[in-house]
Amino acid sequence: MDFALTDEQLMFLDMFRDFARQEVAPLAEELDRQERPPLETIHKAAALDLLAIPFPEQYDGMNAGLLAYGLLMEELGKVCLATAVTVGAHCTAAMLIAAGGTEEQKQSLLPSLVKGHKIGAYAIVEPDAGSDLSGVATTARLDGNEYVLNGRKSHVVNGDFADLLVVLAQTERGPACFVVDKSSPGLVVGWRNKQMGLRGAAGCTIFLDGCRLAMSNRLGGEEQNGHDIIRRTWPFSRLGVAFACLGIAERGLADSVEFARNRQQFGGPIALKQIIQRYLADMATQIESLRHMAHYTAWLMEQGRSSERDIAMLKLWAGEVATWVINKTVQIHGGMGYIKSFHVERLYRDVRAMAIHEGTAELQRLAVAEDILAAVGVVTAP
Amino acid sequence: MDFTFSKEHQLLRKTIREFVRREVAPIAAEIDEQERVPWETIRKAAKLGFLGVPFPQEYGGGGAGEIGYCIMAEEISRVCSSTMTILGAHIGIGTMAIYLDGTPEQKARYLPPLCRGEKLAAFALTEPQAGSDAARIRTRAVRDGNYFVLNGSKIWITNGSIADIFSVFAVTDPALGARGGVTAFIVEKSFPGFRVGTVDEKMGIRGSATAELIFEDCRVPAENVLGTFGAGFITALKTLDVGRVTIGAAALGGAEAALDAAVAYAVEREQFGQPIAQKQAIQFMIADMAAEIEALRSLVYRTAWMVDTHRPFSREAAMVKYFGSEVASRCVDRALEIHGSNGLLRGVAIERGYRDARISEIFEGTNEINRIVVATDIFRRVGVRINP
């Protein structure tokens, strides 16, 4: 047994930390206020090959593993959750292609995404299809040797500036994923969400209005089921979310400690009050449990041994820990946690999405329960 | 990085699981009901070397380290918290104090019979007015030639009425208090002036014996000063640090058992025309249990690894202890809820599990004290001293 990070992982961690501190942290507030994506950060990250971390070398990736990718998300999450989500959406789009694409598609599409020459997004959710993917109403009709896509996608992170989108649609023979270039006629970028938080990574509405695609744009070829591709990518995207949750929770704790030691009430720093100490201890303990669970799950995934249940438990726990820790961060900061001129209120607005996006906490609970009950021979109703 | 248990640890788990199935499970309900110490189990466990599991083989131990000890605590607690409480008090704190701070002579003399289970150990710190505030103990030890004379009493001592060897903490200099004025002693039950007082009846862990110890001019040879004179309070804290990791592992076992029981019941119990397992309200309780258990498992074995690899672990041990005991308490509570009124029936495993779980939030440092340990360390790392 050896729980220590490898030298390579430690080296990456240093690099991610420097990058987050120098390039990401200074922009966090501005992205939130201006509700704009961190385009300059993405390009700088690409130049340092940070977008290539988890991908195989044959597609120009760094092949540094999923835990290293997690460490990147953790460090980004510490300083700017919106940037972490932006990077996560891009990498997940690439991972959808890696998981579902034909060798030809991978060779032609992945290197430019991995290198960050192109930015990716994925368009899966719709107004009436969130947790329930079978409700997707976007259609892909075969017309000669082209697919024609019609429908509307919502909450597409990176949707307004991505060069390439992975789109889920219903064909006459079941669900399929398509790679759609932003220049495709019929792809119309709608509005950026006005959101409570993660304003630097706001989701967009995307319209597909008679969008015509060559058959070769269907990921994995004619027989490949689109839901299967998405399910194969969930572990990756959810792992990223979990590490980002870890990051923002650590940030919340660090800020709370700093505040508690300086804030004077009743003749001394509030750090001396046991009620505050209790909050801090609970925050630290939950964070520690999340850290080890995240490292363990990443390791399981790298070994090819993770189950859907492992991922679901991690995602569930990460969302619960992060939202709870940031809630307590606000509480410790009192009025300072509520005002716009201080960043804690942003953490609170940002973190709430973590228990919702990339699979709600409810979906994770169902997945865990389903697996537990399946082990004793009970098939749960969908 | 490698999260795999070693071959030896995997084998140990298998061996213990088999032992638990054969020897512990059949009498778990009975020892609770009759409030009796399972001597037959202790003797068999001793024969298999379980009573010295974490300690080096040179002392007759199993050499399995803290990871191995946690494996044992998890597996036994899945079925019987009473049994693990007895072993935990013997190994994790009673013997551990001698192992951590004993002189070479003391280790050579006391550890082998304790590791072999020929003798049982206990750890005696708590007093009527000194629980969480352990620095306020009053039991006095006064030098008299080659002896120390102890006067005072200890309460809530696990194994108090069944142990042969006690790690006892007493005041040797009231002016210095916990900072140099407390000394640890190795007391044998045969020492004159030592006797067992009241044996408590308890809500849970009823198969373990919790007793009062009375010292009336108890004469302890000076060579039985455990470790360094005046450094007893440090010995107590160091010992409890290790003990806490195992409380977390035991809580893990209790929580897992609760989950298993909840699942088994939810599958069998039909309401509204189908098993209640089909209800999302039940599924969500089960999922939350599983996720918390997984988080706890990661924390337990990671911290045990820190102990075995000689990294600092006080903060993590406190986290494991209070987080673990609360996960276990939430799990037995949810499992009881899923069982409905059937869970309240004596003889149903979750009824005992529910009563047994509660102590873990209290003993070996209340969760309040453990939270303070964590918070103090958090501030220490940024150069601020709280709770002096």
ipTM of the complex: 0.78
Selection from B92, B187, B201 nearest residue B149 by Cα: B187
Alpha carbon separation from B177 to B136, B138, B232, B276 (Å, rounded): 8, 10, 11, 57
Tokens describing residue B371? 């939270």
Angle B313-B255-B32 (CA atoms, 0-180°, nearest 5)? 110
Asked whether the predicted pLDDT for residue A382 surpasses 90, the reply is no
- Residues A118 and A97 sit within 8 Å (Cβ to Cβ): no
Tokens describing residue A175? 């669900």
Res B272: pLDDT: 86
Tokens describing residue A29? 């507030």
Strands A164-171 and A120-123: parallel
The alpha-helical segments, DSSP class H, found in A158-225 are none
| Rounded Cα distance, A333 and A261, in Å | 11
Residues in chain B predicted with pLDDT less than 70, given as ranges, are 388
Cβ neighbors of B375 (< 8 A, separation 6 or more) are: A276, A277, A278, A280, A281, A284, B386, B387
Tokens describing residue B185? 């002693």
- Residues A354 and A198 sit within 8 Å (Cβ to Cβ): no
Q: Please judge whether B283 and A366 are an interchain contact, meaning their C-beta atoms are less than 8 angstroms apart.
A: yes
| Rounded Cα distance, A360 and A316, in Å | 8
Q: How far is A119 from chain B (nearest CA, A)?
A: 32
Helix (H, G, I), strand (E, B) or coil at B274: strand
Tokens describing residue A342? 């201080």
Tokens describing residue A382? 């969908």
Angle A65-A326-A292 (CA atoms, 0-180°, nearest 5)? 35
B64 close to A (CB below 8 A)? no
Asked whether the predicted pLDDT for residue A128 surpasses 90, the reply is no
Strands B210-221 and B194-199: antiparallel
Strands B165-171 and A203-214: unpaired
Angle B305-B311-B313 (CA atoms, 0-180°, nearest 5)? 80
Handedness of CA B52, B5, A68, A295 (dihedral sign): negative
Q: Where are the beta strands (DSSP E) in chain A?
A: 120-123, 139-143, 146-157, 164-171, 174-181, 187-192, 203-214, 264-265, 268-269
Question: Could you tell me how far CA A210 lies from the centroid of its own chain?
Answer: 30
Asked whether the predicted pLDDT for residue A152 surpasses 80, the reply is yes
Q: Please judge whether B2 and A313 are an interchain contact, meaning their C-beta atoms are less than 8 angstroms apart.
A: no
Chain A contact probe: residue of B13, B297, B369, B378 with most A CBs at under 10 A: B378
Rounded to 5 degrees, what are φ and ψ at B258? -65, -40
* Nearest by CB: A380 against B283, B291, B386: B283
Handedness of CA A336, A341, A347, A348 (dihedral sign): positive
Selection from B381, B321, B331, B387 nearest residue B356 by Cα: B331
Cβ neighbors of B117 (< 8 A, separation 6 or more) are: B42, B43, B45, B46, B47, B50, B51, B52
| Rounded Cα distance, B187 and A284, in Å | 39
Res A380: pLDDT: 83
Q: Please judge whether B286 and A368 are an interchain contact, meaning their C-beta atoms are less than 8 angstroms apart.
A: yes
B277 close to A (CB below 8 A)? yes
- CATH class (in words) of the domain with range A7-114: mainly alpha
Alpha carbon separation from B91 to A3, B23, B50 (Å, rounded): 25, 19, 9
Q: How far is A333 from chain B (nearest CA, A)?
A: 16
- Residues A84 and A121 sit within 8 Å (Cβ to Cβ): no
Tokens describing residue A69? 């990718």
Res B158: pLDDT: 97
Q: Which residue has the tokens 């007493």?
A: B170
Res B388: pLDDT: 67
Helix (H, G, I), strand (E, B) or coil at B52: helix
Q: Domain locations in chain A?
A: 7-114, 120-223, 227-374
B216 is catalytic: no
Q: Which residue has the tokens 């379980």?
A: B50
Tokens describing residue A121? 């997004």
Q: What is the CA radius of gyration of chain A?
A: 21
- Residues A252 and A290 sit within 8 Å (Cβ to Cβ): no
Residue type, B201: E
Asked whether the predicted pLDDT for residue A381 surpasses 80, the reply is no
Q: What is the mean pLDDT of residues A159-187?
A: 97
| Rounded Cα distance, A29 and B57, in Å | 59
Angle B319-B321-B324 (CA atoms, 0-180°, nearest 5)? 95
| Rounded Cα distance, B381 and A130, in Å | 44
Helix (H, G, I), strand (E, B) or coil at A284: helix
Q: What is the CA radius of gyration of chain B?
A: 21
Q: What is the mean pLDDT of residues A39-65?
A: 97
Q: What is the mean pLDDT of residues A187-199?
A: 93
B342 DSSP 8-state letter: G
Q: How far is A308 from chain B (nearest CA, A)?
A: 13
Task: Quote the CATH superfamily of domain A227-374.
Answer: Butyryl-CoA Dehydrogenase, subunit A, domain 3 (1.20.140.10)
Give the chain A residue nearest B385 (alpha carbons): A272
Give the chain B residue nearest A274 (alpha carbons): B372
* Nearest by CB: B290 against A272, A278, A368: A368
Res B308: pLDDT: 97
* Structural domain A120-223, CATH architecture: Beta Barrel (2.40)
| Rounded Cα distance, A344 and A347, in Å | 5
Strands B121-124 and B165-171: parallel
Residue A9: list chain B partners with CB under 8 A: 1
- Same fold? A120-223, A227-374: no
Instruction: Count CA atoms within 13 Å of residue A337 on its CB side.
Output: 19
- Residues B115 and B64 sit within 8 Å (Cβ to Cβ): no
Q: How far is B263 from chain A (nearest CA, A)?
A: 7
| Rounded Cα distance, B141 and B232, in Å | 12
Q: Please judge whether A286 and B382 are an interchain contact, meaning their C-beta atoms are less than 8 angstroms apart.
A: no
The alpha-helical segments, DSSP class H, found in chain B are 7-19, 28-34, 39-47, 65-77, 81-88, 96-101, 104-115, 232-268, 280-308, 314-339, 349-357, 367-380
Tokens describing residue B225? 């000063």
Cβ neighbors of B225 (< 8 A, separation 6 or more) are: B148, B183, B184, B185
Selection from A356, A321, A310 nearest residue B327 by Cα: A321
The string over B81-95, giving b where at least 16 C-beta atoms fall within 10 Å of a residue's C-beta and e elsewhere, is bbbbbbbbbbbbbbb
Of the pLDDT bands very low, low, confident and very high (cuts 50, 70, 90), residue A131 is: confident
B386 close to A (CB below 8 A)? yes
Helix (H, G, I), strand (E, B) or coil at B239: helix
- Residues B295 and A317 sit within 8 Å (Cβ to Cβ): yes
Of the pLDDT bands very low, low, confident and very high (cuts 50, 70, 90), residue A195 is: confident
Q: Where are the beta strands (DSSP E) in A201-251?
A: 203-214
Helix (H, G, I), strand (E, B) or coil at B111: helix
Average predicted confidence (pLDDT) for chain A = 95
Angle A327-A80-A187 (CA atoms, 0-180°, nearest 5)? 110
The number of beta carbons lying within 10 Å of the beta carbon of residue B147 is: 17
Residue A246: list chain B partners with CB under 8 A: none
- What length is written for chain B? 388
Lowest average pLDDT, out of A124-128, A285-289, B364-368, B384-388, goes to B384-388
